[in-house]
Every structure is written in C-alpha cells, then in structure tokens.
Amino acid sequence: MICDLGDRFSLCVRSLANQKGLDAMTDIRLYRHVFWRVFVFLSIVTVASWVAQFWFEDLTPITAVLIVATVCACIVWLMCPRTKRELPDILGELHSVYFESDGLCFAPSFVVVDGLCWCQIICQNRYARICSAKVMIVPMEGMSKNGEAHEVPPVVAEFNCEGGEVGRIRIPYPIATHWQEKIMIYDVYAQSFYPRGTGNLMRSKEGLEVGAPPHALFDVLRPVGLMMLGKYEISNTASIELRLPENVRDSIPPDVDEILDTIWELEEPAEAAPVAKA
C-alpha cells in the first residue's frame, strides 16, 4: 500500500512537471511547488486531527492524527493516476531512445522506398484515451527563408493516436542532392492534448521530454508561411542527429501523399499484466 502510494505520488509529481513545462525534475520551482502542496497536506491533517480530538473526547492525539492521515492518504491514492495495465513497449523495441510530450511518445527516422525518402514518425500513446498531437522536426540548416523550395525541409505532423495505440506517420521528404549523406541535427518539438482526459496509465516507461513549440512557429511552418521563418527565433528544446539518406529524390512526385497506419492497437477485452514495481 505504501509503495503503491509512493508510485502514484511520483506519477503526480511527473504530471505536475509536464503541466508546468519543466525540462528537468531538478528544477527548483518544481520542488517549491511540491513542498507547498506537502505543507498544505500536513496542515490539513493537523487541523483536522485537532478538530476530531475536540469533537470526540475519547480520542488520543496520536489516534486522531493516524485516522485523519489515513483518510487523506486514501483520497490522494484515489485521485492520483493509476496504472491498471502494462502494455508492451512497442516503440522501445523499435527505437532505443524516444521522445515524449505529456504521455504521447514518438521517434522520428528516415526510410527509403523506391528512391523516395520518407520521414517516419512512430508514435505510442501511454494512456487509455485518444490523444491529439502535433510534432515538429526542424533542421538546423538547409531551410529556405525567401520562399523557395527547402533543400532540407522541416516536418510538421498533426495526428490522433487512440488509447494505448502505436501508430506510424510517413511524410514524403525530398532532399537536395548536395545535402544527401550528410549528418543533420534537428530540433524536436511536440504538443499533445487529451480531449476526454488521459484515462488510466497503460505504459510506465517515459520518453525524453520535449518542449512545446511557440504557436506562431507552427503557423509559420505551414506551407503558406514557410518564407517567413526567419522572423521567428526557435527556442531551446530536445534535438536529434540523423544521417540524411543518399541517392533519393530531391522533389516529391505529384501523386504521393503522407501515409498513416496502425502498428498496434489496444483490444479492450484483453487483460494485460499489472505493472511490475521497481
């Protein structure tokens, strides 16, 4: 019971960190916020214990404290996120390292099919309810700022990922010939939203947290505003190093569009094993 409560408190703290947009659990603001909540919790226990002792004269101080603390702990236990199932980490089997935005994990890579390069993003939902996500992958070099075609284009993907689902998005990715076979560093941004709430936690493993892009940056990277990118400063976020494929097309055929499919989906009737505690 105590270990389970500790695990759930840890989940609450991590959720709080995500809500606050913190990049590291060591951020002093997070500790201050958690300390304040613990202080309020203990204050409520103390006052409620005093009231209980005053109301029930037969109660000793220690008994009153234990009763009130137990009731408050049960309330916290019920309100914190709970992991009822542990689904397989499909994304972890495909990529040793992956990113996350508040429950939506993903990993970008390049695949080549018939001479055409595709930017592939595999996403994995850690929660039981549908997630709407936006992922942005921005190269540090090779982008046009004058309205001409990008030599190394940015990627903006918007998609939905069902509860517990593992999906794949493939976006055609042309690369200028003189950039091919070079190593490129990409800034990675993402933003996720659960319109009906997250529901139960289905996968315990977390990815590397990425920052949310400025709203204006999303608008700028849409096709109608690519030439305006130079007016905006890209903030610090996670990054990834990828080697650009060689011998691939430098333009997209007119009949080619992005592809979305499902790698793994949650079957509601199936029972999964409970999460193993460390």
pLDDT attached to residue 131: 97
Which is more confidently placed, 169 or 271?
Answer: 169
Reported as a single tens digit per residue, the pLDDT across 45-55 is 677 766 666 66
* Residue type at position 36: W
pTM: predicted TM-score of the whole model, two decimal places:
0.64
Give residue 180's pLDDT.
97
Give the burial class of 124: count Cβ atoms within 10 A of its Cβ; 0-12 exposed, 13-18 middle, 19 or more buried: buried
pLDDT at 6: 46
Percentage of the chain exceeding pLDDT 70: 60
Spatial distance between the Cα atoms of 84 and 272, rounded to a whole number of angstroms: 8
The helix (H) or strand (E) run that includes residue 20 is helix 2-20
- The pLDDT tens digits of the residues spanning 56-114 come to 666 676 666 667 677 767 666 666 555 456 899 999 999 999 999 999 999 999 999 99
Q: Is the pLDDT of residue 223 over 50?
A: no
pLDDT tens column, 30-47: 455 556 667 676 777 677
What is the structure's pLDDT at 213? 80
CA-CA distance, 48 to 42, in Å (whole number)? Answer: 10
For 240-247, what is the mean pLDDT?
A: 96
Tens digit of pLDDT for each residue in 135-173?
999 999 988 777 788 899 999 999 999 999 999 999 999
CB count in 10 Å sphere of residue 221? 21
In sequence order, the 6+-apart residues with CB closer than 8 A to the CB of 149 are 174, 251
> Helices (DSSP H) in 124-253: which residue ranges?
215-220
Q: Residue 209 above 70 pLDDT?
A: yes
What confidence score (pLDDT) does residue 219 get? Answer: 54
Q: What is the pLDDT of residue 265?
A: 92
The arithmetic mean of pLDDT across residues 127-137, rounded, is 95
Residue 165 phi/psi, 5° resolution? -80, 155
Q: Which residues pair with 262 in a beta bridge?
A: 167
Work out the average pLDDT over 191-199. Answer: 94
Instruction: Please report where in the chains the tokens 């997070």 appear, as a residue.
Output: 30
Percent of the chain with pLDDT over 90: 50
123 close to 188: Cβ distance less than 8 angstroms? no
pLDDT of residue 266: 83
**pLDDT for the residue 237:** 76
**Residue 132: which pLDDT band, with cuts at 50, 70 and 90?**
very high
